[in-house]
Structure 1
Amino acid sequence: MQVFLIRHPRPTIPAGICYGQLDVECDDPVPIAERLRPALPPGTPVISSPLRRARGLAEALDPNVRIDARLCEIHFGDWEGQGWDAIDRSALDAWAADVLNYMPPNGESVADLQRRVLDFADWLEQQTLPNIAIVAHAGVLRVLVGHWRQLPAEVWTQLPFEFGSLTEVTL
């Protein structure tokens, strides 16, 4: 199966804001869809996070998009909507010291995100499709690529994915 991993367009919020599962608008997805469409085989089904910034691009690629909540970005809990510089420095240091297991207040850990996304990956790997496109978030894409390429956590948690980018993986 050929998997096309697509990151959503740039959110239209001020730089430096923690937005995780905050459902924010994004740049116009239509030009990005027009740029990406030729890279997708005709008839490629699209699965998307339900968050607007991913869903809008997915719908521009395929009006029959399937929505899957397991593809939501990490939930930063009480940090959502705050400036990163307004979050307590000791909390950010604690997170940096244990990236996988630290949980922001009322949020989820990267390990929680990983479990949720790997549940989706297990389901996807059982499908008999020749190809599929997934429109999601950097955290989700990191988990998927890390899993499929068998990367250690210290590598996959740092993988870069540009807004509107496409990454191909063969399963």
Structure 2
Amino acid sequence: MDLHLIRHPAVAVAPGTCYGASDVPLAAPLDAAVAHLRPLLPTDAALFASPLSRARLLAEALGAPVIDERLREISFGDWELQTYEAIGCEALDRWADDPLGHRPPGGESAADMSTRVLTYLEELRAQKQGEAVVIVAHGGPLRVIAGHLLGLPPQRWLALDFAHARLTRIRVEAWGTTLQLFNR
């Protein structure tokens, strides 16, 4: 499988605001992102996207995506659209102490999000072996996909910093995985 991973473009959210599963607007029109990405993508690829508009709209501008709920960003529950200052240092420290297992009130943990994304990935690998695939999603799910395929331990997945509206390409073979491009 020739896997093309794209993080959504930048969003119009005030700095210092926690957002994940909230459907926030894009900061700019899609023209520049599409012009940059389209020549880098195979024309015959299967296209998949998160249902959140910041990813879905880019995917729709690139083709006819299959929308999959499992590609949405992590839900921060009661923290969604709150400033980090309003969430408070004590709550954020608990999260920092256990970034994979901590579950914000009413939200999901990174481990929960990873489980749903890896379930999706295993189904995709079984269905699209040997094919080109494009996924337009969010930083969290893309870290899970790339980190898992590259054999990184989950504690290192946060080190994969996916830039907005940039392409990462991973070649998945029966013998292993090759990172071919990152944030191009």
**Structure-1 separation of matches of 2:113 and 2:94:** 18
Aligned length: 170
Which 4+ runs in 1 deviate beyond 6 A? none
Whether the aligned pair in 2 keeps the contact of 1:9 and 1:28 (CA below 8 Å) is no
SS of 2:19's equivalent in the other structure is coil
Q: What is residue 176 of structure 2 aligned with on the other side?
A: none
Q: What is residue 175 of structure 2 aligned with on the other side?
A: none
SS of 2:134's equivalent in the other structure is strand
| Identity percentage of aligned residues | 46
2:160 is the counterpart of 1:159: yes
1:66-124 per-position Cα deviation (integer Å, ceiling 9, x unaligned): 10000000000000010112112111111111111100000000000000100111111
Q: What is residue 140 of structure 2 aligned with on the other side?
A: 139
Q: What is residue 169 of structure 2 aligned with on the other side?
A: 168
Whether the aligned pair in 2 keeps the contact of 1:30 and 1:57 (CA below 8 Å) is no
Q: What stretches of structure 2 of length at least 5 have no aligned partner? A: 173-184
For residue 20 of structure 1, what is the amino acid of its counterpart?
G
User: How many angstroms does 1:134 deviate by?
Assistant: 0.2
User: How many angstroms does 1:28 deviate by?
Assistant: 1.6
Q: What is residue 107 of structure 1 aligned with on the other side?
A: 107
- Normalising by the residue count of structure 1, what TM-score does the alignment of the two structures yield? 0.96
Q: What is residue 55 of structure 1 aligned with on the other side?
A: 56
1:13-71 per-position Cα deviation (integer Å, ceiling 9, x unaligned): 21111110110111222320121011111122210000000001000000x21100000
User: How many angstroms does 1:12 deviate by?
Assistant: 1.0
Superposition pairs for residues 68-87 of structure 1, below 5 Å? 68-87=68-87
For residue 86 of structure 1, what is the amino acid of its counterpart?
A
User: How many angstroms does 1:126 deviate by?
Assistant: 0.4
Whether the aligned pair in 1 keeps the contact of 2:100 and 2:155 (CA below 8 Å) is no
- Normalising by the residue count of structure 2, what TM-score does the alignment of the two structures yield? 0.89
**Structure-2 separation of matches of 1:158 and 1:87:** 24
User: How many angstroms does 1:158 deviate by?
Assistant: 2.4
Q: What is residue 177 of structure 2 aligned with on the other side?
A: none
Q: What is residue 120 of structure 2 aligned with on the other side?
A: 120
